[in-house]
Homo-oligomer: A and B are copies of this chain.
Amino acid sequence: MRSMDFRPVFLVNGILLAILALVMCVPAFVDWYTGHKNWQVFAASAGLTLFVGVAMAFASNTGGARLNVRQAFLMTTLAWVLLAIFASIPLRFSDLGLSFTDAFFEAMSGLTTTGSTVITGLDHAPPGVLLWRALLQWVGGIGIIVMAIAILPLLRVGGMQLFRMESSEQGDKALPRAAQIAVVIGVIYLLLTVAWSAAYWFAGMSGFDSVAHAMTTIATGGFSTHDESLGYFDNATIDAIATFGMLMGALPFLLYLKTIQGDWRALSNDSQVQWFLIAVGAGVIVAAGWLWLDDGRSIFDSVRYSAFNVVSIITGTGYATEDYTLWGAFATPLFFFMMFIGGCAGSTTCGIKVFRFQVLYAAARTQMHHLMLPHGIFVPHYNRRPISDEVIVSVLSFFFVFGICYALLALGLGMLGLDFLSAISSAGTAISNVGPALGPIVGPAGNFQSIPDPAKWLLTGGMLLGRLELFTVLVLFTRSFWRG
């Protein structure tokens, strides 16, 4: 390999920044329209971001050179960091008076669709800021889907090569085809958001709340416009709408496309979707049973609160209608382990993701057969297709690296003074992009305001790592990446 040509990396990042600047105009307009002087902050930030973005893009114009693998890794990681930095500017200078640490934490939490927040007093925050937080998650969500469909499979990160599209094998057609698909999926994403806005509105939310929550529901992000999250509305219909919305956001978006193209069984035939729904169902039943038997609630209430909060945690959304850590001794470990599951690949969710558990299970099963018949040949399958050894090792390595990163993150947080429960649950919520952690401080009823600044930076790093499937970031820290 030659030394790296940074121009294509900067070109893409410049374009993305310019897009971010355009998105910033929305809260600027809303704040101006509703008479909040905060609009100036958004307008100025948009101007700055647009200027930097356009300048970067022009300065690095390559006349259509293609990205190689190393450039693609750098481009992806850099994009999330740069976008988070620029997205944090209006938060830093808004009326909320956030420090840069807090603003960057909030921006990264938004763009990665994590949903952890350092802001209290959301109910009285200017609408521009609330909309900006929702927009960050919404933009982050579609960014992740496109990345998971078009980029990660080519980079072969953590077993994502399982989801290479047939056409992507033939180099030339790959990119235009991917671009087309990205546009169609963007439209689906938009339509789902519109549908959920309407549903929320009919169920009684204000127009503003409907749009903001629809965006963070479909993106499985979890930012709310109220400190109490969706618990603020205390409305079973809204809970149900949110529950289904989070599930929609957690399914593979490529399958929606196939469904529209006439393959009506695309979703129901997909083993990842089946496993995901079984996992969710099991979690809901266990938690509801616990609430019913141990907490003495009605069956309806048990199912309502269990379904909402379990779906919120498994999909990594992070809404809450209650402090489920008060549901008794069993709830804490249950919600703790559910944080790591995640949704389907090619959705807006994070975490380990269901297909990896399928591959790991298939590998472990094959392993057992192999133990009994050492000379037999057993091939693990995923979705009725054999899994190559390369994919198995990729997925298994992902699981190991996930474990190590998680442990180091939790240790770091402990070293910075967080108590045990806060440390190990915050590390999990960050790397899985869930949102709230567990316990009185950073749990669903608390937020991340009070933890020390270095801990916030660690968590921001954890969110980025988790969001980019670890390896995309970690390869940048190897010597051979830079030596070429």
Contacts and interface: CB of A to CB of B under 8 A. Distances in A.
Given A336-B424, A420-B333, A397 B363 contact: yes
Interface string A284-305: 0000001000000000000000
A77 interface: no
B407 A337 contact: yes
A415 B330 contact: yes
Contacts of A373: 1, 69
Contact of A334 (B372, B414, B438): B414
B364 A400 contact: yes
Contacts of A419: 329, 332
A374 interface: yes
A258 interface: no
Residue of A155, A156, A424 with highest tally of chain B CB at under 10 A: A424
Interface in A426-474: 438, 471, 474
A389 interface: yes
Contact of A397 (B330, B367, B413): B367
Contacts of A368: 471, 474-475, 478
Nearest to A370: B156
Query: How many copies of the polypeptide does the oligomer hold?
Result: 2
Interface residues of A, number: 56
B420 A394 contact: no
A400 B380 CA distance: 15
Contacts of A157: 371
A410 interface: yes
A263 to B, nearest CB: 30
A332 B420 contact: yes
A162 interface: no
Contacts of A411: 330, 333-334, 337
A204 interface: no
Contacts of A401: 364
Main secondary structure of the interface of A (DSSP, over half): helix
Contacts of A174: none
A296 to B, nearest CB: 16
B480 A400 contact: no
B480 A372 contact: yes
A170 to B, nearest CB: 16
A70 interface: yes
Contacts of A69: 371-374
A474 B365 CA distance: 10
Contact of A410 (B155, B337, B371): B337
B333 A424 contact: yes
Contact of A396 (B336, B396, B414): B396
A368 B70 CA distance: 11
A75 to B, nearest CB: 14
Contact of A333 (B70, B414, B474, B481): B414
Given A371-B157, A372-B481, A471-B367, A329 B393 contact: no
B393 A403 contact: no
A423 interface: yes
A155 B368 CA distance: 11
A307 interface: no
A396 B363 contact: yes
Contacts of A481: 372
A382 interface: no
A369 interface: yes
A73 B371 CA distance: 9
Contacts of A73: 371-372
A360 interface: yes
A374 B154 CA distance: 10
B367 A393 contact: yes
A46 interface: no
Enumerate the 5 nearest inter-chain pairs by beta-carbon distance, A residue then B residue, closest first: A396-B396, A333-B414, A332-B420, A367-B397, A360-B400
19 contacts: A69-B371, A69-B372, A156-B370, A156-B371, A329-B414, A333-B413, A333-B420, A333-B423, A333-B424, A336-B424, A337-B410, A360-B397, A363-B400, A364-B397, A364-B401, A367-B393, A371-B475, A372-B481, A420-B421
Given A337-B411, A360-B397, A367-B394, 10 more contacts: A73-B371, A330-B414, A334-B414, A336-B420, A360-B400, A363-B396, A363-B400, A371-B475, A396-B399, A420-B421
